[in-house]
Amino acid sequence: MPRINPERVLSDLRTLATFGAYKTGVHRPTLSDQDVAAREWFAGRMREAGLDAEIDGVANILGRSRATGRKALSGSHLESQNHAGWLDGALGCVYALEAARAIAEDPATADLGVDVAVFCDEEGHFGSFMGSRSFVGVLDESEIDTAVARATGMTMREALTRAGWNGRPRHLIDPSRYDAFFEAHIEQGDTLEHSGRKIGVVTAIVAIWQYRITVLGEQNHAGTTSMTRRRDAGREMIQLLASIDARFQSVAGERSVWTTGRIDLDPGEKSIIPGQAQALFQLRDADPAVLARMEDALREEVAKADDAGRCDISVERLSASTPAIMDARLQDALDAAAEMNAPGMHIRMPSGAGHDAQWLARKLPAAMLFVPSIGGISHHWTENTSDEDIVLGSQVFADAIVEALRRN
Amino acid sequence: MPRINPERVLSDLRTLATFGAYKTGVHRPTLSDQDVAAREWFAGRMREAGLDAEIDGVANILGRSRATGRKALSGSHLESQNHAGWLDGALGCVYALEAARAIAEDPATADLGVDVAVFCDEEGHFGSFMGSRSFVGVLDESEIDTAVARATGMTMREALTRAGWNGRPRHLIDPSRYDAFFEAHIEQGDTLEHSGRKIGVVTAIVAIWQYRITVLGEQNHAGTTSMTRRRDAGREMIQLLASIDARFQSVAGERSVWTTGRIDLDPGEKSIIPGQAQALFQLRDADPAVLARMEDALREEVAKADDAGRCDISVERLSASTPAIMDARLQDALDAAAEMNAPGMHIRMPSGAGHDAQWLARKLPAAMLFVPSIGGISHHWTENTSDEDIVLGSQVFADAIVEALRRN
């Protein structure tokens, strides 16, 4: 089996962390100067590895192997969340590159090929999975035309033009070329750390169902409007959210999560009864039946609150994705590679976060490997994984790809 | 008894409504060009009424009567909330001026005097009751120095300089000059309309106790952080606010009101578990014992939530005013004048809103009269009172002042 080069893996990751370095993490928004430089550098590293690497019209990088045998596709993303960690995305890109290198360097596996892909904007600075959706053929040019960076207001067209990539043809997946897609990622939670394991084998990427709850009351003076007369949108929103949370204790699945990310009371002044309240509410689970049960409960609680209170209450579903089930045979390959390198130290688990792999799974058998996040920290500059765990993960990842291609 | 001039009252109010006219209301923030012009015009109307009127260094106007007998002080404010009603404040100023005029015009009462006061910034664009606090001697120059308009960022010094009033001496109350302070105002609620009455005789101006509740949790990924592991500041804030509201159903007084005016979840993104939550919470009641009981319950609920949950929860009292009790003898004078003009159509009630009278009550026996607000609407450009009710209120107000000065 191929041996990965630990120094090369860590060195590549540390070099990537210099592009937009922020404290011990990185600030590398999609198509920022730092992100553009990181992409150019990484494309260069692909070419040094013998891959034919090209950056396309949506800033995706595809590095094609010249190997003649069976091939896998592997990769992740290079941009970061704002002021976030050095490994989120970058780890999956470097693991893919290292697998390509190690497999090519070992005469016993040199016939196998790994194409390395870097998908643009997985972190959603401009849109939703622009890069991986482009690659699987579900992104129209018009969506790129209208995409604007939330933080800076710059259009994606302008950012692509600045980078010199606007107007280039976009890479499109050739499913006949690949047996499998593999993506590695930090876990972004503490399941591995908590269970003392080193490798997570992802069973499914959960679906996310998102809602906006709106309560319409009557804005009024907080001193002169009696409790019986007021139609307090904030008060009814609080009562509703508390009742939804209580109800979910019984209807949710074991691994379901639900989050109220935002509450806006209008006008938000201390002496004014809110005339309107809005909340963003989100459910995640890998089982559509569980999600449907939770949505039913959510709608029932909203209807009850609307009947019982003095405000008009409604809920609108903003989006509902489907869970992406990881390929069973590729999960077995990851288990086998993990068992070989770290016996008993692997565990199967769903991914609570979205990943490029959920889009690739529409076209190819797909799999994901997780390495531990220290303290379960994610989307923060203190995110980290020990060097030892990084190196172990890289070896398991390369071995799993070989296992999958050989077994096929 | 003096007869007020209905046309003069309505005409003065309609003229004032032209300064900063906005739809059927006014937009006349403190020391805006429109507010400065309204003050100049009103000072002129005072002089036409035979009052010695001067605008002082904090934009208060005091119009002194030349009468030789007993005197009352009366007035309110001229600036408005943003895009608000034409009567809030203006009504009390015009009633005071009309009482001064009518009492001076009637030979039977011409010995009595009414000084008319217009207090600056009751609506709090720059600070808290700047004008009435200045007049009763509890506003330092340093507070004017640091006052900045919330909406525009202009300093109060700059605004006073633009108006030509900066540096003028400030009027200070001479309590020996007056037997009483009277202020009229629209009710800003629907107690009068709901009970079919025309005149409210205020018993007390409620106290306002304000709090900031803070929940400190841990910001994390809304997908990868399990429900048992997460320390969701938003979720614990919702549960706490719901439990406070439920608890208050039993501990609050009959006329107590409580309001959550603002909730901030940080960072407020749909896919991020809030690491911090803050809420502004307010209690109002005329009885300090009831307020203390409610505060105790609030603190108990906070302590319980802090013990039970996984976040750190605290509450900070931002301010606590004392109720301003209206003078019993002056309430009787208002009742008598109301009974004379509209038998059985008056009612005693607390004021849920703050008014300049609460500061004057520290120096003089004070009283307030309310007229109905159509639909209970306040702080909105649709605020209104029927012409008939405006005229009736003006007559009752003038009669009550005579009643109070004669009885003394």
| Closest Cβ–Cβ partner in A229, A242, A352 for B224 | A352
Beta-bridge mates of residue A69: none
The 3 state secondary structure assigned to chain A is: CCCCCHHHHHHHHHHHCCCCEECCEECCCCCCHHHHHHHHHHHHHHHHCCCEEEECCCCCEEEECCCCCCEEEEEECCCCCCCECCCCCHHHHHHHHHHHHHHHHCCCCCCCEEEEEECCCCCCCCCCCHHHHHHCCCCCHHHHHHCECCCCCCEHHHHHHHHCCCCCCCCCCCHHHCCEEEEEEECCCCHHHHHCCCEEEEEEECEEEEEEEEEECCCEECCCCCCCCCCCHHHHHHHHHHHHHHHHHHHCCCCCEEEEEEEEEECCCCCEECCEEEEEEEEEECCHHHHHHHHHHHHHHHHHHHHHCCCEEEEEEEEECCCEECCHHHHHHHHHHHHHHCCCCEEEEEECCCCCHHHHCCCCCEEEEEECCHHHCCCCCCCCCCHHHHHHHHHHHHHHHHHHHHHC
Single pTM value for the model: 0.85
pLDDT at res. A407: 81
* Contact across the interface for B208 and A191, Cβ inside 8 Å: no
C-beta separation of A317 from A281 below 8 A: no
- Rounded Cα distance, A345 and A196, in Å: 7
| Closest Cβ–Cβ partner in A227, A260, A378 for B234 | A260
* B261 shares contact with chain A (CB less than 8 Å): yes
* A208 shares contact with chain B (CB less than 8 Å): yes
Q: Closest-CA residue in chain A for B380?
A: A220
Domains, chain A, with CATH or none: 6-206+323-407 (3.40.630.10), 207-320 (3.30.70.360)
- Rounded Cα distance, B327 and A147, in Å: 65
Q: Which of A224, A265, A379 is the best mutation test for B, with the most CBs of B within 10 A?
A: A224
C-beta separation of B168 from B55 below 8 A: yes
What single-letter amino acid sits at A316? E
ipTM exceeds 0.95, yes or no: no
- Chain B: give the shortest CA distance to residue A318, in Å: 11
Averaged over A2-10, what is the pLDDT? 98
End-to-end CA distance of chain B: 16
Mean pLDDT taken over chain A: 97
Task: Kindly report the length of chain A.
Answer: 408
Q: What is the mean pLDDT of each run of 10 residues along chain B (408 residues)?
A: 96 98 97 98 98 98 97 98 96 98 98 98 95 98 96 96 98 98 96 96 97 96 92 98 98 96 95 96 96 98 98 97 96 98 97 96 98 92 97 98 91
Q: Which of B190, B205, B238 is the best mutation test for A, with the most CBs of A within 10 A?
A: B238
- Chain A: give the shortest CA distance to residue B248, in Å: 11
How many CB atoms neighbour CB A376 within 10 A?
A: 24
- Chain A: give the shortest CA distance to residue B103, in Å: 32
Cβ-Cβ contacts under 8 Å between A and B: the total is 189
pLDDT at res. B173: 98
pLDDT at res. A408: 66
pLDDT at res. A1: 84
Q: Which of B247, B257, B317 is the best mutation test for A, with the most CBs of A within 10 A?
A: B257
Taking a contact as any Cβ pair under 8 Å apart, which residues of chain B between 110 and 129 contact chain A?
none
pLDDT at res. B408: 66
Q: Kindly give the residue spans of alpha helices, DSSP state H, lying in B276-386.
A: 288-308, 328-341, 357-360
